[in-house]
Amino acid sequence: MRGVSMPTFQYYQISQASHPGRSMPDLAAREGLTDKIIIAAATTRAYTRVVLRLRAQAEAEHAQVSKWMQQNAPPSAMRSYSRPPSPTFSSAHGHSGASRPTTPHKSPSSQPQQLPPNGRLTFRSPLVKLRRAPLLRVFVPNPDSDWLSDTNVLECESELKKAGVTALLRPGDVIWDVAVGDEGNLGRMVWDGSYLIDLDYSYSTVGDLPKYLHTLSFSPSYFHRVLRTGANTNPILRVDVSPWGDQIAMNLQLLQDRVRTETPQGNIHNVVRWVHRSSFVLKPPTSRPHGSSVNGKQNSSSWKIQLPGAPSGTFVDSGWYGTIVVETEGTNEHLGELQERCGKGVFPPKLTPMGQPRLVKNPDALKVWRILREKSRPGEIWIRMVCENERIN
């Protein structure tokens, strides 16, 4: 209860009060500060345990309702329950995080009596939302700087072990050291399955998702409002589009696009620009293939899309199913980089002047895109190519 009701800025105040250069008036004040640090650490551990417990409860209820829908609802009503409650990337690491319902098995006819009308979910919590990353907390005072050092990160991992939640963490879980403060994404890290890793600040001063995670294995809105973005900016994602290069080449067009821009004086203007635009489709499996059951149990991985270039068992999240629209500026330079991102053999080889070797870009730089939130909608996700000249460090 203290973790829910205590304002987060108080953690920062306690951390700053523990600065070695700050003098304490008397022994009682120093002992009181020590007690506050101990209580703050214990509070964040309890808060983290409760959030993970709520996630397990929400996913257990979602699984129960999905089962009820499969047994009782018509096929058309199953569309809203076809997506899994968590990123499929976690299945590759064996972190389920949620226990199955422990209620005894009952016949389909008796199931509707246990669930609300139409099989709707009843779980509600401001701390947990299905298909969104949880924001877990640790308290590691760092009075010397607003940035976490390697030692601080190791201490944050130690706090997770003390809370007893390491086995429940999943790749993509966001952990926040509340002792650092609540400005931007300071103190926020992402669990990669084994360790805490810092955010990437190559294209943003606020921080973006680390490049070590497979973005397509999470839903497009999985980190929305959990990892903050700068004003009027869209989040960075890293996607290798070369497996779908043939589709991009076939649908590529040079178009005129009208953009509404605002001047510093507040006036709105319509600007016409040229863009290269294309698309590719991630088709959701329409039916379970023949022989997908093993020992009488359905093999869930047999109707998922294996993520190309990722470890076996890493699947594309169903939130990406549909059309992915890709675009970049309408210049020859941007067109050349888009062609390079589509992979070798998709477009004819480039002709370079004699004596000038062809420049080969960093493979990681060819995977950087931004999600265009203002244009995207379910079933159609827009992404824009980010070039090397947009890198800030």
The 10s digit of each residue's pLDDT in 149-162 is 888 999 999 999 99
Instruction: Evaluate whether 3 touches 126 at the Cβ level (below 8 Å).
Output: no
Q: Give which of 272, 249, 235, 223 is closest to 382, Cα–Cα.
A: 235
- Give per-residue burial for 76-88: e unless 16+ CB within 10 Å, then b: eeeeebebbbbbb
d(CA 196, CA 184) in angstroms, rounded, equals 18
Report pLDDT for 154. Answer: 93
Report pLDDT for 361. Answer: 67
Report pLDDT for 287. Answer: 55
Report pLDDT for 150. Answer: 87
What is the mean pLDDT, run by run of 10 residues, along the chain of 393 residues? 90 82 57 86 96 93 81 59 45 38 41 50 83 94 76 94 95 95 91 93 90 91 90 86 94 88 75 92 68 45 76 88 95 92 85 52 87 92 93 83
d(CA 241, CA 386) in angstroms, rounded, equals 13
Report pLDDT for 86. Answer: 45
d(CA 25, CA 28) in angstroms, rounded, equals 8
Instruction: Evaluate whether 367 touches 240 at the Cβ level (below 8 Å).
Output: yes
Report pLDDT for 371. Answer: 95
Instruction: Evaluate whether 17 touches 29 at the Cβ level (below 8 Å).
Output: no
Is 0.85 topped by the overall pTM? Answer: no
Report pLDDT for 97. Answer: 37
